[in-house]
Amino acid sequence: MFKHLLPKATSRPLLRPASNTFRASPSTFYLVDRSQYRRGYATEAEEKDLVIIGGGVAGYVAAIKAGQAGLKVACIEKRGTLGGTCLNVGCIPSKSLLNNSHLYHQILHDTKNRGIDVEGVKLNLEQMMKAKDTSVAGLTKGVEFLFKKNNVEYIKGTGAFADEHTIAVNLIDGGETSVRGKNIIIATGSEATPFPGLNIDEKKVVTSTGAIAMTKVPKKMVVIGGGIIGLEMGSVWSRLGAEVTVVEFLGQIGGPGMDAEISKAIQKTLQKQGMKFKLNTKVMSGDDSGESVKIAVEAAKGGKEETLDADVVLVAIGRRPYTAGLGLENIGLETDNRGRLVIDQEYRTKLPHIRVIGDCTFGPMLAHKAEEEAVAAIEYITKNYGHVNYGAIPSVMYTHPEVAWVGQNEAELKEAGIKYKVGSFPFTANSRAKTNLDTEGMVKFLCDAETDRILGIHIMGPNAGEMIAEGTLALEYGASAEDVARTCHAHPTLAEAFKEAAMATYDKAVHY
């Protein structure tokens, strides 16, 4: 029945793509009382159709899809809860804090004009953190339920390759076991990149993990790195009362994927909200030996050194693949110069039955990209085909207003020598945004100058993260700006700004 599960010989060369290519007998336990550990854990005697190392977004989605396909699956996760960084200490808890800190900030500063008089507003940070933790707990338990529903064996422990088909596991509750797999997927994710010279204690010097768990609002906070994580977490603590300064080596915030025009616009908005920025600035050193942290900075091109003083420093200079302790040397697998496992177009390593998905291989480190790769990898195993369009992976920054984009930005199109046209529409001219008193931002289309095919869509504004789904679908199906403009959008909605931007690209907008 599962002939297709057997490893296939391949002469396909391993790929090292550029940034915009594809990203894709009974058990023996060393315990006195072994009976309590036998139930629910894989045994040496049973070979699984698929073993997955890592229960984060990539791993757990792959496990569920494999279970749905009828495969015998085991998933190994050392955290003790499923969902990985995203669900436990990343995407989900940060969005809870972003949403609730925005509500708090809005009540403090944006109610009088709405006819709402509020007095005695106080921040209960402990309760805000409890609300975050409740959301996380509910979702992680939900993933465990889906494992049971789809007959996925959940092994709580740290896995490492003993040989090409065997994973040895140190169990969280003590003892050891091993599990064999016809197929193996590595989905071990990524970790925050440390900054040389700063000791991350998740108290004074924090990564995103510490930034979502602080017990008091710092007076001064320095964020090293003006990418999405730094800006999101910086905006949370800025709203709650901290004086936040963002230090960024590049000349714009938001990272290289964000369109330059949008980047400048969101920077102005965040500055109005109280955040400070030092662009084209490099961090020279840091001293965390005292009660506060001192950060020495200077202009990226050289100049006078300046010292910033902070109660908390957030290190947000990116993430790096996490493959430590996997025992890759035992099976001859190597990583590239950026720590990524090398794979081919079907996510296979040089050992074709071992595949890699998510943050520990090529492509943007995004949870939804990892999910898409998980589904495709299982399809390759069970059907011999799969699909991920790496040109249509959306990005979202959940500040307020939100910023979202999909496809190429202007700088990328210019570099590629592609002739394009631009159409945009501001939310100040959108009826729903005006009635909501929330008009910061715009929708921007980039289309091929000759064919009108959509090449990129960039949004800064309310609900941008939801609206970008329409742009991603349009890009996926090769739509033109005219296709979108001639599609009826409900009135009054924010999405009408999307339609009008499309109209402005191929013809003229009506309401601006």
Q: Which residue has the higher pLDDT, 23 or 400?
A: 400
- For 131, 169, 197, 251, 437, the CA distances from 440, given in Å and listed in that order, are 28, 52, 39, 22, 9
How does residue 46 score in pLDDT terms, banded at 50, 70 and 90?
A: confident
Per-residue pLDDT, 256: 87
Active-site option among 109, 165, 489, 491: 491
Question: Coil, strand or helix: which one is 337?
Answer: coil
pLDDT digits (tens, 9 = 90+) for 71-95: 999 999 999 999 999 999 999 999 9
Question: Coil, strand or helix: which one is 475?
Answer: helix
How does residue 303 score in pLDDT terms, banded at 50, 70 and 90?
A: confident
Question: What gap in Å lies between CA 505 and CA 500, rounded to an integer?
Answer: 9
Question: Percent of the chain at pLDDT above 70?
Answer: 91
Q: Where are the alpha helices (DSSP H) in 4-56?
A: 35-38
491 assigned to active site: yes
pLDDT digits (tens, 9 = 90+) for 452-499: 999 999 999 999 999 999 999 999 999 999 999 999 999 999 999 999
Question: What gap in Å lies between CA 393 and CA 11, rounded to an integer?
Answer: 29
pTM for the model stands at 0.90
What DSSP string describes 245-313?
EEE-SSSSSS-TTS-HHHHHHHHHHHHHTT-EEE-SEEEEEEE-SSSSEEEEEEETT----EEEEESEE
pLDDT digits (tens, 9 = 90+) for 92-113: 999 999 999 999 999 999 999 8
